[in-house]
Each structure stands twice: as structure tokens, then as C-alpha cells.
């Protein structure tokens, strides 16, 4: 996680996102959805972000794009710090998001053509109506949609087709960076493979950079160059996809990897499943020190006293743990 801003396209430094939650009469508590997260994404790379529900994955993606105003921290894009209206406007043209739910992320009152062209209209990218129509047809063809469907509405399409519409909309402003927020979790398995392969093809053809958020480690391993693991708003481990899946070091990552099903029945029977004890603590009442210590078999008094910092355990392999 180098500080060299000349190589990484996206850099996140000490990002925090807290939400005020009413917990009583005239009383509010801060919910720490993301707490001091830092990472880089190289140009043309896919960084996978995994973790269980509620760990802050989606919040990281939305905060990076300033859909949520960060509580604190810095976001750098292509060597420029994102702050101020002008920098944010330029950043939003070059960075887009594919949302998780293809049913609620598309306006039911707009035709497919208007949905896809919305970024074009906002950023005034096509000077004439003909250029706009040509661009819409090009984008729909790019994601495998029939251009004759441009006059239809979103409810007339299947889930996989709706997600393709969402991807076409994300590509409309010719972005360099796309946050993919669980883009296949609401789709059938066969359709998931089609969408994943399409995203990979688009990345190679257009030189895109992805932050790919998902639950399924197998999917993330397939598409990602590196994988980051989150737990309760904190980043636990970060390494290349092969290194993290073959040699996980953090006890939480080891538990996650043990739950991944294996295609070989013999290997699957011999695989030892590591079941975590207890429940995930409430982000409103975070445990002191390491957030994972209440469910960790390695936990000691040091874990309760101090939150471990991310350190490089091996070249390019970062872990936040006192007891490796």
C-alpha cells in the first residue's frame, strides 16, 4: 500500500464513514460503518472486496464515489485529491458505479434509451441528437443488448438484461474506474457467468479499472487481481488473489476460505470447516482493540488493548493481526 501517487489510479487513505443513529430520547450514537480503511487500485486492475453482510463493503464503494460524504480520510484519483465541486464533477464522469439490485436501480418511468443516456446528458457528451442516438446504440451493442429494445421500459426485461442496462449506463460517460457493487448476487448462476465474462471482456477492450464487491470468494477470485477482506468496518487482509486463497493468514480469512465449497467430492469431505463462535458484534457497540477478537481463537489481552495495524507479512501480503 505504497504512498506513491504516480502509479495507482485510485488511492484511499484512512477512510472513515460514520452514521449518526438515534439510540434513545435526544441521544445519538455513531455507527462506524467504515473505520480507517486504506488501499490502492492500480490502473487496469480489479481489486476484489469481500466480507460478510454488514461489514462495510458497499459503504466503502459509495463513499469513494462521494455518494456518501466521507466522515474523514482522503480519496485520490489519477494523482488528484477529490475535494471541491470541480474535482468531484470531473471525478464522477471518470468513475461510475454498477449497483447490486437491477430491479430498483433503474427508473421505471424512463425508457432504456433515456436510462443509458442519462450520464451523456448530465455531462453534455453528445453535441447533437444523432450523436446521442448513435452512442446509445453503440453502448447497448457493447453489453449484448438488442438496439431495438431502446424504446422499451426496464420492467419488460429479465434480471440479467436489466443488469446489462445498468452496465451500459455506467459506460456511457467513458469512465476509467467502475465500482461493481455485487453486480451478480441477484442473478441466476448461469447469468452470473455471462455478466462476469462480459465485465472481463469490457475491461480488456476499454482499459477499465474495477473495485469488485461481492460475497462469493470464488467469483471474486476469478475476476480479481488482488483481494481485500473486510470485517466490521475494518480491513483484515489484502493480497493477490492466488496468494490470499492459497495462503490466508488472518483467522477470519482462514474461516472464510474453509467455507468455500470444493468441486472435488473427496477433497470436500476431507476439508475441515472452521466455524466461528458467537455473533458479529453490533457496530454501535464495537469491542475494544481488534474488532475480530470476540470470535477469534488466537485472541489475547493485547488484542483487547490495541487494534492491530495493517503490516506486510510477505511481499504484497498485508494483514491486520497481532498473532500471525
Predicted confidence at residue 119, as pLDDT, reads: 94
Report the C-alpha gap between 308 and 323 in whole angstroms: 10
In the predicted model, is pLDDT for residue 6 greater than 60? no
In the predicted model, is pLDDT for residue 167 greater than 90? yes
- Tell me if 41 sits within 8 A of 64, measured CB to CB: no
Q: State the angle between helix axes of 159-171 and 112-123 in degrees (0 to 180), rounded to the nearest 10.
A: 20
**What confidence tens digit (pLDDT) does each residue in 34-51 have?**
999 999 999 999 999 999
Predicted confidence at residue 286, as pLDDT, reads: 87
Q: Is 217 left (phi over 0), alpha (psi -120 to 50) or beta?
A: alpha
Predicted confidence at residue 7, as pLDDT, reads: 77
Residues in the chain: 324
Report the C-alpha gap between 320 and 324 in whole angstroms: 9
- Homologous superfamily in CATH for domain 8-319: P-loop containing nucleotide triphosphate hydrolases (3.40.50.300)
**What confidence tens digit (pLDDT) does each residue in 12-33 have?**
999 999 999 988 888 888 999 9
What DSSP character marks residue 155? G
**What confidence tens digit (pLDDT) does each residue in 179-203 have?**
999 998 878 888 889 999 999 999 9
In the predicted model, is pLDDT for residue 5 greater than 70? no
Report the C-alpha gap between 248 and 278 in whole angstroms: 22
Predicted confidence at residue 74, as pLDDT, reads: 95
Lowest mean pLDDT among 122-131, 138-147, 241-250, 275-284: 275-284
Amino acid at each position: 500500500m505504497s504512498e506513491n501517487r504516480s502509479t495507482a489510479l485510485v488511492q484511499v487513505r484512512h477512510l472513515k464513514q460514520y452514521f449518526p443513529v438515534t439510540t434513545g430520547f435526544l441521544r445519538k450514537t455513531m455507527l462506524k460503518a467504515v473505520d480507517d480503511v486504506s488501499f490502492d487500485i492500480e490502473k487496469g486492475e480489479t481489486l476484489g472486496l469481500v466480507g460478510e453482510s454488514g461489514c462495510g463493503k458497499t459503504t466503502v464503494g459509495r463513499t469513494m464515489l462521494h455518494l456518501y460524504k466521507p466522515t474523514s480520510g482522503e480519496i485520490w484519483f489519477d494523482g488528484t485529491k477529490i475535494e471541491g465541486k470541480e474535482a468531484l464533477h470531473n471525478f464522477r464522469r471518470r468513475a461510475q458505479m454498477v449497483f447490486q439490485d437491477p430491479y430498483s436501480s433503474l427508473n421505471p418511468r424512463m425508457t432504456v434509451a433515456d436510462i443509458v443516456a442519462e450520464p451523456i446528458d448530465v455531462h453534455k457528451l453528445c453535441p447533437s441528437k444523432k450523436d446521442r442516438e448513435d452512442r446509445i446504440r453503440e453502448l447497448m451493442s457493447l453489453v449484448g443488448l438488442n438496439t431495438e429494445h431502446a424504446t422499451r421500459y426496464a420492467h419488460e426485461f429479465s434480471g440479467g438484461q436489466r443488469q446489462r442496462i445498468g452496465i451500459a449506463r455506467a459506460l456511457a460517460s467513458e469512465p476509467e474506474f467502475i465500482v461493481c457493487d455485487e453486480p451478480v448476487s441477484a442473478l441466476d448462476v448461469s447469468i452470473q457467468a455471462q455478466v462476469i465474462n462480459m465485465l472481463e471482456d469490457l475491461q480488456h477492450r476499454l482499459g477499465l479499472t474495477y473495485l469488485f464487491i461481492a460475497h462469493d470468494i470464488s467469483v471474486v477470485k476469478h475476476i480479481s487481481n488482488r483481494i481485500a477482506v473486510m470485517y466490521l468496518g475494518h480491513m483484515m487482509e489484502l493480497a493477490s488473489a492466488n496468494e490470499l486463497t492459497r495462503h490466508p493468514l488472518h483467522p477470519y480469512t482462514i474461516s472464510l476460505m474453509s467455507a468455500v465449497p470444493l468441486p472435488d467430492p473427496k477433497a470436500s469431505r476431507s476439508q475441515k470447516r472452521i466455524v466461528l463462535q458467537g455473533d458479529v458484534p453490533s457496530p454501535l457497540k464495537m469491542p475494544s482493540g481488534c474488532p475480530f477478537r470476540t470470535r477469534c481463537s488466537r485472541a489475547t489481552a493485547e488484542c483487547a488493548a490495541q487494534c492491530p495495524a495493517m503490516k506486510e507479512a510477505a511481499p504484497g501480503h498485508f494483514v491486520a493481526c497481532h498473532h500471525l
